[in-house]
Amino acid sequence: MEYKYLGNDLTEEKIKSLTPEARHVLCDELRDKIITTVSENGGHLASNLGVVELTVALLSVFDYKKDKIIWDVGHQSYSYKLLTGRFDRFDTLRQEGGVSGFPRISESPYDTLDTGHSSTSVSAAAGLARARDLLGDDSHVVAIIGDGSLNSGLAYEAINDIGQNKSKMLIILNDNEMSIDKNVGGLSKHLANIRVKSGYLSAKHTTELFLRRKLPVLGKPLMKTMIAVKDFFRFIVYRKKPTIFEDLGLLYYGIVDGHDTEALIKNISAVKDLQGPVLLHIVTKKGKGYKPAEDTPSDYHGVSGFDIATGKISGGGRSFTSVFGNKMIELASRDKKIAVICAAMSSGTGLVDYSFKFPERFFDCGIAEEHCVTMAAGLALSGYKPVVAIYSTFIQRAYDEILHDICYMNLHVVFALDRAGLVGNDGHTHHGLYDLNMFCSMPNMTVIAPRDYKSLQRALEYAVINVEGPCAVRYPRGAESVNTYDPGSDNAATVKEDCSDIKDPYIAEDKGTDYCIISVGNSFADGQSAVDILSEQGIFGKHINLTIVKPLNDKSIEALTSGVHFVFTLEEGITAGGVGTYIAQCISADHEVINIGIDDPMIRAASQSRQKEIAGIDGKSVADKIKRLLSRS
């Protein structure tokens, strides 16, 4: 498609001077660019298609070089990127060295905040607005938050705080009734109620705004009376209280059709200079303008790539995620005490089938990781066996709840941590690099790191059936690269009644004493590839793999490393404070222990295998490190 407006030369001034017809064409062009790029590079399609008109409206009203615009999560910032100087590089979206799929302050001066984890926008906006007031400048601060992200405690904490403050800031609530899947919870019902009454609220809105803007002094008392009368009528007509936002001290306006650029411009312009925090409620359709994404927005929330004509999404197939989901169905059929909890990620964690099979023992709590964890404590205290399925990166939110509400009481709660390790094109905010440090340092916690599908299944059985306290099972994004239980493979692991197949270290290689690699969980494949490279060069050592990493089987480790001077630990997690550091503490001083892991967490978008190379934890890098060290000794 030839673009008439979208391009490198579409400056801020030009955007502001577009006619309504031109803005309409620009929206079509943005959609085309987003669809074609995401079909090739993968990315967050449905959310981006939903905010095209909103982005054009925001940039028509605000001065993006001066005002602060914050996209919550940031997965919907593609139009913003295309209109703020990144059109020429947009083909590199989510590729190595390319445009990030999320706002990045290092990428553009117009990205206000690095985001990726949800519900941070209102807090950050509050800080920016307060700083602006202290500095005495007149810029605007705008946070755009989705109805899904509004479920998180962090967003409530922020709204509760700003309601008592008169700092000028605009929150745009982008309500599409969806999180990744259908939105959940009482607040989403509250929003639905407001939507039903939208005509009434729009009428009030126009009069009220007129009074606020045109008669700032006289209008105030008049408006107070009007609001009281309005609330009375609302009570009579709907038997409903004002919106939760008004109760919390915000000025609430809405509802605006989020695909009507002109209505958005009109309404944003009307509220932008009001004193105090304003919430403008807009309604959008996820996937707008691309039929397959409109029909099944969850499927197109984050896609790996797709065929534009047919909508067929590439990828799929068996993965650690699907193995986890299927195993939970099997375990829950056998044990009625198992209950599974997720935080707005039933599809992402492979639990859709489980949720249909056991709806009464499935709890999607929305984007509320901390609540999920403490809720699990309640279930565990009542004799249930909760399994909390949350991506490694997002469980970081719940550090204190795991420690204080689960570990100190030694409650039997299982944490299923998907996407542990490097995650690929989403980039550094989404890596799961801290779970090993976090969970290994907690009292009573058992930590298991499976290396392949079978060991994941065994780990889940062990965690649910054998462990009595808290237990974390961490597994990577994507598909297994080895199957150590394959009877055809060398040193095939076999299922043992006493669970020794996952309790004891797995001995993958025992050909010499030049070195020993102790790999953690899914780093097995890279450890083994290092062994193969070194063997070809006449350097022979041992390779053992740990599945249970806490408690450490230190006696076995000591026995297995006996006679070997150089011990290299290898893990896909942050090196400092990782499993390697515990191994170094537990084995005798006769050994020299070198910890190999990820030293710098800021590994940008690239394929997972490329990210391993960048981090120096792939087979070749490990072999090179070992060779270098041996040649020096």
Ligand X SMILES: Cc1ncc(C[n+]2csc(CCOP(=O)(O)OP(=O)(O)O)c2C)c(N)n1
Bridge-based pairing state of the strands 471-474 and 446-448: parallel
How is 351-373 classified by DSSP, letter by letter? -HHHHHH-GGGEEE--S-HHHHH
Residue of closest CB approach to ligand X: 146
User: 504-519 in b/e burial notation, b at 16+ Cβ within 10 A?
Assistant: bbbebbeebebbbbbb
Contact between 452 and ligand X per CB under 6 A: no
Whether a cis peptide bond, with omega within 30° of 0, leads into 406 is no
Nearest CB to ligand X, comparing residues 402 and 567: 402
Contact between 454 and ligand X per CB under 6 A: no
Nearest CB to ligand X, comparing residues 253 and 300: 300
117-146 residues in contact with ligand X (CB under 6 A) are 117-118, 146
- Does residue 2 have an active-site annotation? no
Is the separation of the CB atoms in 385 and 335 below 8 Å? Answer: yes
Contact between 100 and ligand X per CB under 6 A: no
Find the shortest distance in angstroms from Cβ 144 to ligand X: 9
Find the shortest distance in angstroms from Cβ 174 to ligand X: 6
CA–CA separation, 23 vs 9, rounded Å?
15
- Does residue 628 have an active-site annotation? no
What phi-psi label fits residue 97: left (phi over 0), alpha (psi between -120 and 50 degrees) or beta? Answer: left
Contact between 431 and ligand X per CB under 6 A: no
- Does residue 4 have an active-site annotation? no
Structure-block tokens of residue 491:
């040193």
CA–CA separation, 569 vs 585, rounded Å?
12
Contact between 178 and ligand X per CB under 6 A: yes
Contact between 147 and ligand X per CB under 6 A: yes
370-429 residues in contact with ligand X (CB under 6 A) are 394, 397
Find the shortest distance in angstroms from Cβ 487 to ligand X: 39
Find the shortest distance in angstroms from Cβ 345 to ligand X: 6
Among 23, 31, 33, 75, binds ligand X (CB under 6 A): 75
Nearest CB to ligand X, comparing residues 56 and 626: 56
CA–CA separation, 555 vs 552, rounded Å?
9
Task: Give me the amino acid identity at 460.
Answer: L
For residue 43, list its beta bridge partners: 303
Nearest CB to ligand X, comparing residues 396 and 535: 396
Contact between 350 and ligand X per CB under 6 A: no
Catalytic residue among 12, 29, 208, 369: 369
Nearest CB to ligand X, comparing residues 150 and 467: 150
374 burial level (CB within 10 Å; 0-12, 13-18, 19+): middle
Catalytic residue among 385, 397, 477, 612: 397
Find the shortest distance in angstroms from Cβ 261 to ligand X: 18
Residue ranges in 252-313 assigned as alpha helix (H): 261-271, 291-295
Nearest CB to ligand X, comparing residues 296 and 410: 296
Among 367, 377, 448, 463, binds ligand X (CB under 6 A): 367
Bridge-based pairing state of the strands 516-520 and 542-546: parallel
Nearest CB to ligand X, comparing residues 76 and 355: 76
DSSP state of 441: T
Find the shortest distance in angstroms from Cβ 46 to ligand X: 7
Using CA atoms, how far residue 269 sits from 170, 202, 254, in Å, is 11, 15, 13
CA–CA separation, 324 vs 456, rounded Å?
7
Contact between 76 and ligand X per CB under 6 A: yes
Catalytic residue among 286, 288, 327, 361: 286
Structure-block tokens of residue 363:
């709890």
Q: Which residues form the interface with ligand X (CB under 6 A)?
A: 47, 50, 73, 75-76, 117-118, 146-149, 174, 176, 178-180, 286, 343-345, 367, 369, 394, 397
* Residues designated catalytic: 286, 369, 397
